[in-house]
Structure 1
C-alpha cells in the first residue's frame, strides 16, 4: 500500500533536511497528566528521509492541562520543563482528549496561556501549541510504532496500532479508501485509516459503569453500596450498548477491518499485563482470563492471594477486560484468525509514544 510518489520526493529534495530541527521538545498533554519528551536527532542521507534518534528523555507531571487553573499554570509548566537544558530549536505542546472534552473558548484560552509561557522562556524556539484531533493522534502513534520496528525505512509490511487512553481510544492501520488520510514521512506517502472515539477512553468509559455489579469482582463494594458479582458476560452486554449504540464503532471501523497484525498500547498493555496475558494474548484468552479475574473474591485480590499484582487500579481490571473484549470483538470485529494482537510498551527497547510523530511528519 505504501507509495513513494515522485511529487513528494521532488518536494523533499527542494526542502533541505537541515531545515528540520535537531532538538525538539514534544509534550503529550493527556487527560490525566503531561509528559515532555526531549528528542535529539539527526538525518543520514542513506535513511531515505527518516531521522536517527540519538537520544530522548522524558519528564511527567500529574493532572491534565485542562484542569489546571490560570493561577497554577506557572507552577505546572515549571515542573514539566524542569529538566530541560539548553535552547531547543522547536517545542510542540500538543494536548489530546482531555482538552477535546472542554469548551472551545476554554481550550483556546488555555492554549494561548501555555504558548505565551513557553515563548517567554524559550524566545529562540519555534513554538506550536494546539489540541490535536484523535485522528492525528492515531496517525502519530502509527508512525512511531512502524518507525521503531523498521517497517517505514525498509518499506516492509506495516502493523496497525490501537491506543486506549483515559478519555479516548484510537485505531489506525494502513488502508487506501475514501476516508483515508494522507501522511507524508521521510520520502514516502502513506494512506491511513485513523479513527478516534472521544469518551471511550478507559477512565471515561469506566465512569459510566461504576454501579454495575457485573463489571466488578465478587465482593467489591460499589459506590451505591451494592457488591460486585463478577459477571463478565453481563458487563460485555452492557458495555456493548456504549460501543455500538452510542458510538457506532462497528459501522465506523469494524466493517473495514483488514487481515493485519496490531500493536495494542497504553490501557490495552496494562490490562493484559495484570491478567498475565503478555506472552499469549488473543481475544479468546482475554475473555477466559477476564472471567477468571472477575470471579475472584475481592479480599483475595487485595491481599495478593489470588495471584494478581496488587495496585491502586486493581478494582478496574474486571471492567477493563470486559470492555476491551467487547471493543475488539464486537466493535472492531477482530478475530484471532485474522488479527494477531501484541500488547506492547516498547519496540527495540524504545517506548512507543505518539510524540515521535511530529518528528517524523512535521507537517501533519
Structure 2
C-alpha cells in the first residue's frame, strides 16, 4: 500500500528541512575563518600637580601597542578643586584629601575589573621644586600624604614624585608631537612614521617655571640639556631646559619685589607699578614675597610691613623692569645662549606655546597667529587703558585681570630676548591649549613613555565569516524554520486520508 498525500508532503518538507539544516552546519564549519579580534583596552591615570592647581587625566590605549609603544588617547580630564599641593605645607593631609573626588570619577569610567592593573602616577612640578628648596621636610610630608591617599584606592600606584624640569619639558615635547601626528600616524590602513625633521618645538609657561624643548639643527653641546627617547621604534634627541623662577606667578612676585625698594623702617611703602593700569591701587602684605625662594632680599625681613601698589600704565617702563629680571649680559653675544648663562642652540622651525603662554594671549585675543608688530601694539594699547575701563570691559575676571599687561609684555621679552625668536621665526610660534582634541602638557608624554614598560597583549583569535556566507546562512536558517513549521502544520491540520 503506497503513502498517502499527507505522508508524502510531510516527508518532503522534513527532508527539505534536514537538507537546509545540514547546509547551515556546513557553512558554519567549512566557510568560517580565524581572525584577530580587537585588543583589550588598557587605562592609565596621571596627576599633574602644578604650582597653582592639580589636574587628573585618564588615558587609554589598545593592549597590543604599535612598535612597543601604546597608541594613547585621552579619556577624561578632571580639575582638582583648590590650589596646588605645594600650598598645603601647613596641613599636608589636605593635599591628599583633595585628590579623592577626581580619582573616584576616573575609577567610575574605568571598568572595575581593570582597576587593579591601572597604573596611577602623580608628578609634581615647579611649585613642589620650590618648596623642596625652601623646606625639604614639608615637601616630603606632602608627597607622603598624597601617596597614602592614593595607595588606599584599588589601582596600580606607581608613586608620587617631584619631576625635574628636564622631564617636564621633554614629556611635553612628546605630547605635542604625538597629538599632531609627528611621531606616528594612521595612513592607508597602517601606522607609519612621519618624515624625519617634521617635529615641532614645545614652549611651556607654568606658574613657577618655563620650559623650552626642540630638535636643534646641529649637535647638542651641553649633554645635561639633552633628552633621548625610543618611541614607535624611532630614536629622538632633543634639547630641553627648564628655567625655575621664570614662571608667570614667580615672575610677578620678583617684579613687584624689584620695584618695591622697601624701606623697612616704615609701616607702609608706596610702589608705583608701571605694569598695572593707571587708577589701579591695592594694599598687600610683604610676607608672600619673602616666602618665595625666587625672591631674594639682602636686608632683614619684616613681615609686618605692607605695600600700597599703585598702577601707572606705562608699558615702556614695564618692559624695562621686566628686563631687569634677566641676566642677558651673561651670554656675551653667544648665539648658543639664552639668558643667565644657560646654553641653548638657536631656535628654528615650528613651536607650540601652551599653558600660560596660551591663557595670556587668549585673553588678549592674540592666538590667531597675528604679526609680531600687531601683537606688540595690542599689548601696549591694553596696558595703557585706565583701570576703570578695563574693569568695565571684563566683568567677573578680577582675579588675574591686573596681571595681563605684565604677563603679555613678559612673554614677548622671554620669547624674543630670552629664547631668541625674531621677526623671521615668530610666525612659526602657535599659541594653543589643545591639539588633536587633547590637552597639551607633560602628562600624555609621560604616559606614552610609560606604555613602553607595560607588556603588550597579543590580539585574541576568533572565527568569522564573509558577508556573503553569512547571508547564505541566514537564508538557509529561515528555510529550515519554514519547512519545519510546514511539516508540523501538515501533521496537525491535514485531515487523514
Compare 158-167 and 206-215 and name the one that shifted more. Answer: 206-215
Distance in 2 between residues matched to 1:229 and 1:195, nearest whole Å: 35
1:207 aligns with 2:267: no
Q: Deviations over 1:199-255 (max 9, x none)?
A: 111011112234452111222114344532221121111111212269974365685
Deviation at 1:173, TM superposition (A): 0.6
SS in 1 for 2:228: strand
1:21 and 1:89 in contact (8 A); partners too: no
SS in 2 for 1:236: helix
1:311 aligns with 2:397: yes
Cross-structure match for 2:443: 355
Closer, same or farther: CA 181–21 of 1 in aligned 2, 3 Å: farther
Closer, same or farther: CA 39–112 of 1 in aligned 2, 3 Å: same
Cross-structure match for 1:220: 280
1:151 aligns with 2:192: no
Cross-structure match for 2:430: 342
Of 25, 49, 57, the residue aligned with 2:45 is 25
1:115 and 1:127 in contact (8 A); partners too: no
Larger Rg: 2
Distance in 2 between residues matched to 1:238 and 1:165, nearest whole Å: 21
Distance in 2 between residues matched to 1:237 and 1:282, nearest whole Å: 22
Closer, same or farther: CA 212–274 of 1 in aligned 2, 3 Å: farther
SS in 2 for 1:250: coil
Structure 2 segments unaligned to the other structure (5+ residues): 1-39, 185-192, 257-270, 284-306, 332-337, 454-497
1:99 aligns with 2:142: no
Distance in 2 between residues matched to 1:250 and 1:130, nearest whole Å: 29
Deviation at 1:54, TM superposition (A): 4.6
Distance in 2 between residues matched to 1:177 and 1:334, nearest whole Å: 19
Cross-structure match for 1:239: 322
Q: Deviations over 1:177-216 (max 9, x none)?
A: 1332212322122111111111111011112234452111
Closer, same or farther: CA 309–170 of 1 in aligned 2, 3 Å: farther
Compare 161-170 and 335-344 and name the one that shifted more. Answer: 335-344
Cross-structure match for 2:148: 116
Closer, same or farther: CA 52–252 of 1 in aligned 2, 3 Å: farther
1:70 aligns with 2:70: no
Distance in 2 between residues matched to 1:247 and 1:133, nearest whole Å: 24
Closer, same or farther: CA 344–83 of 1 in aligned 2, 3 Å: same
Cross-structure match for 2:207: 166
TM-score (norm 2): 0.64
Distance in 2 between residues matched to 1:109 and 1:71, nearest whole Å: 9
Structure 1 segments unaligned to the other structure (5+ residues): 1-19
Closer, same or farther: CA 282–42 of 1 in aligned 2, 3 Å: farther
Distance in 2 between residues matched to 1:151 and 1:252, nearest whole Å: 32
Closer, same or farther: CA 44–268 of 1 in aligned 2, 3 Å: same
Cross-structure match for 1:261: 350
Closer, same or farther: CA 342–193 of 1 in aligned 2, 3 Å: same
Distance in 1 between residues matched to 2:145 and 2:310, nearest whole Å: 45
Distance in 1 between residues matched to 2:330 and 2:49, nearest whole Å: 24
Distance in 2 between residues matched to 1:347 and 1:214, nearest whole Å: 36
Relative CO higher for 1 or 2, CA cutoff 8 Å, sep ≥ 6? 2
Cross-structure match for 2:173: 142
Cross-structure match for 1:8: none
Give the total of aligned pairs.
340
Cross-structure match for 1:15: none
CA RMSD of aligned residues (A): 2.5
Distance in 1 between residues matched to 2:397 and 2:104, nearest whole Å: 29
